[in-house]
Amino acid sequence: MIEIQGKYLVLLLQKHAALGYLAFPYLVSRSGETIFVLSEKLTKSHVKAWKEDLSPELKKLALLADGFADQEVFRRFCRNKKNETPATFLKSAESDYIVSVIKPAVEKMVSEVLFQAMALGVLVFMREDTRSVYLGDAIGFAEKAAGTTMKFARRDEGIDYQLMLHSMEGDLLIREKHTEIITSYPAWLLYDNRLYFFKKDFDANKVKPFLKSNSIFIPAKMEKDYFRKYIRKSVRGGNVIAEGFDIIDLWPDPEAQLSFEYNPFFRPSLTLSFIYSGKRVEASRPGNVIVDLLIKDDEYHFQKIYRSDDKEAAFSDKLQTLGMKSVASGQWSLERQDLTNEEFLEWINNNAALLKRNGFLVESNFPGKNYYLGEVSLEQDINAYRDWFDVHMVVVLEGGIKIPFTLLKDHILNEIREYTTRDGLTFVIPEEWFARYRDLCELGKPEKEQFRVSAAFFPVFKEMEWGLPEYGVSEKRADIKIPDNLN
């Protein structure tokens, strides 16, 4: 037993009328070989007064338990402190508020206290009406998490559901031995004078019906809804024995998908998701299993798809290699945080081929806009004549989309970066085009899919290295013979 200031530390479980079981550390004095008398509760005031005598672990235990003392519950949860006191608050609070808000928060704290006490080896007792505890009544801790198995047997008339609990020592026969729910979620059970904790996603409320009954029956008329909700959730989170339906385990390779959208900070970013067998899951979503229910010809089939942490991490590594950084869970941006939408989109267009080679599918999910996120190229052809030259230019997008450059004239001259096609696809004009093609838009006359430019401007475009023919209009005119009488 842990000794503090000449006394011993124990943990007392006591049932609260509104909050269920609470767990408080107490100091006790020895009153014989096996009898201890309660002295005082270990609280945060002791942490301050005895800071030299208490280890960090003991301080943590005391502070955790102080979180669900009456005064602290009142401070955190009472919304009408003027008309309530710590003693009256829970008696007058609405039951829905207690059940949905206060009790879940308290149960998490109680669970932390139990884990801390288990780690310290503190003896646990049930708080009785007397002020004494007896060593023979000490409650032990199970060494490892208990497990659950759910059996669903589908018959013509309905579904039989059984819940089985098991530990390292064997099955927990909860109808044969004394069992109490200490906390629902996280789940702690008192079974045969020992405390059992459960794996992360188990809710101890599922145990309640089985304290009195071996199974639960669900009529056939309710089975479809039951499959879609309860059984599907059970398949996702636990061990399930299926009779009368199938559960197929799958380990497919993920496809990576990037969605252009706002991040939580209202900045443009790429949200990373993964596609497993056609099912999309965001990278930020917790859990390693995706469950899909297929119903065909009155037959039920579950696909239990397992996510791959290693392969998902590999895609994140690729994004870092491409110069991106994670700004929130599953949200990726570039090093510059002040990028405009257009600048970010141009980066995506310029790197579309590289993203594709690295296995990323890119889609637009921006509010009110369907942005084009693929590669951009230009087809250009120049024909020179005696008095003019024609510049034929077409913007080429993926999917066979072609945009005559003449349609961009007003955008170039007015520095408008977004051009939207008749089909509602918004294409961001590359920044460099505004300087490179401004003269063409100012000096050329648009005719269908080409600009016609007067020969007088030939030297302007020649200097811009447009790839004009070496034998230009001005050179042709220089070869005309001048009559002798004009010399």
| 241 or 384: which leads in pLDDT | 241
End-to-end CA distance of the chain: 123
Residue 476, pLDDT score: 41
pLDDT band at 384 (very low <50, low <70, confident <90, very high): confident
| Other Cβ atoms closer than 10 A to 268 | 20
Residue 17 token pair: 């009328």
Residue 469, pLDDT score: 58
Evaluate whether 392 touches 448 at the Cβ level (below 8 Å): no
Q: In 3D, which of 289, 358, 364 has the Cα closest to residue 317? A: 358
pLDDT band at 212 (very low <50, low <70, confident <90, very high): very high
Residue 237, pLDDT score: 82
Question: Can you name the residues that pair with 262 across neighbouring β-strands?
Answer: 268
Residue 270 token pair: 């790429």
| Other Cβ atoms closer than 10 A to 216 | 13
Residue 238, pLDDT score: 77
Evaluate whether 175 touches 162 at the Cβ level (below 8 Å): no
Interhelix angle 70-77/103-120, nearest 10 degrees: 140
Cis omega (within 30 of 0) for bond into 186: yes
Residue 477, pLDDT score: 40
**Is the pLDDT assigned to residue 484 strictly greater than 60?**
no
pLDDT band at 479 (very low <50, low <70, confident <90, very high): very low
| 421 or 455: which leads in pLDDT | 421
pLDDT in tens, 91-136: 999 999 999 999 999 999 999 999 999 999 999 999 887 889 999 9
Residue 447 token pair: 């005719």
Residue 449, pLDDT score: 86
> Long-range contacts of range 313-322, CB-CB < 8 Å, 24 or more positions apart?
315/254, 315/256, 315/272, 315/274, 315/359, 315/360, 316/272, 316/283, 318/358, 318/359, 318/360, 319/270, 319/272, 322/351, 322/354, 322/355, 322/358
* Dmax (CA) of the chain: 141
Rounded Cα distance between 326 and 271, Å, is 10
Evaluate whether 138 touches 158 at the Cβ level (below 8 Å): no
**Is the pLDDT assigned to residue 474 strictly greater than 60?**
no
> Long-range contacts of range 32-39, CB-CB < 8 Å, 24 or more positions apart?
33/135, 34/134, 34/135, 34/136, 35/132, 35/133, 35/134, 35/135, 36/8, 36/10, 36/132, 36/133, 36/134, 36/135, 37/131, 37/132, 38/12, 38/131, 38/132, 38/133, 39/7
**What is this structure's pTM?**
0.75
Dihedral angle, C-alpha 361, 366, 372, 373, nearest 10 °: -30
Evaluate whether 415 touches 430 at the Cβ level (below 8 Å): no
Interhelix angle 56-66/103-120, nearest 10 degrees: 160
Question: Can you name the residues that pair with 241 across neighbouring β-strands?
Answer: 151
The domain limits of the chain are 2-141, 147-231, 255-369, 376-464
Residue 480, pLDDT score: 37
**How far from chain centre, in Å, is Cα 235?**
20
Least confident of 138-147, 160-169, 383-392, 398-407: 383-392
DSSP 158: E
Residue 231, pLDDT score: 95
CA angle 343, 345, 350 (to 5 degrees): 95
**Average pLDDT of span 43-67:** 92
Least confident of 126-130, 218-222, 309-313, 349-353: 126-130
> In Å, what is the CA distance from 326 to each residue of 142, 248, 265, 317, 356?
40, 34, 13, 10, 19
| Other Cβ atoms closer than 10 A to 176 | 8
Residue 470, pLDDT score: 55
pLDDT band at 76 (very low <50, low <70, confident <90, very high): very high
| 322 or 337: which leads in pLDDT | 322
pLDDT band at 396 (very low <50, low <70, confident <90, very high): very high
Question: Can you name the residues that pair with 382 across neighbouring β-strands?
Answer: 391
Residue 158, pLDDT score: 96
**Is the pLDDT assigned to residue 331 strictly greater than 70?**
yes
Residue 483, pLDDT score: 46
Which distant-in-sequence residues (6+ apart) come within 8 Å of 167 by Cβ? 142, 144, 146, 147, 196
pLDDT band at 343 (very low <50, low <70, confident <90, very high): very high
Q: Tokens 């101890």 correspond to what residue?
A: 204
List, in sequence order, every beta strand (DSSP E) within 84-131: 123-126
The pair phi, psi for residue 316, each rounded to 5°, is -65, -40
Residue 482, pLDDT score: 39
Residue 356, pLDDT score: 96
| Other Cβ atoms closer than 10 A to 259 | 19
Residue 401 token pair: 């989309």
Rounded Cα distance between 315 and 362, Å, is 13
Helices (H), 186-282: 223-226, 232-237
Percent of the chain whose predicted confidence (pLDDT) is above 90: 75
Evaluate whether 291 touches 302 at the Cβ level (below 8 Å): yes
pLDDT in tens, 446-470: 988 899 988 787 777 766 666 555 5
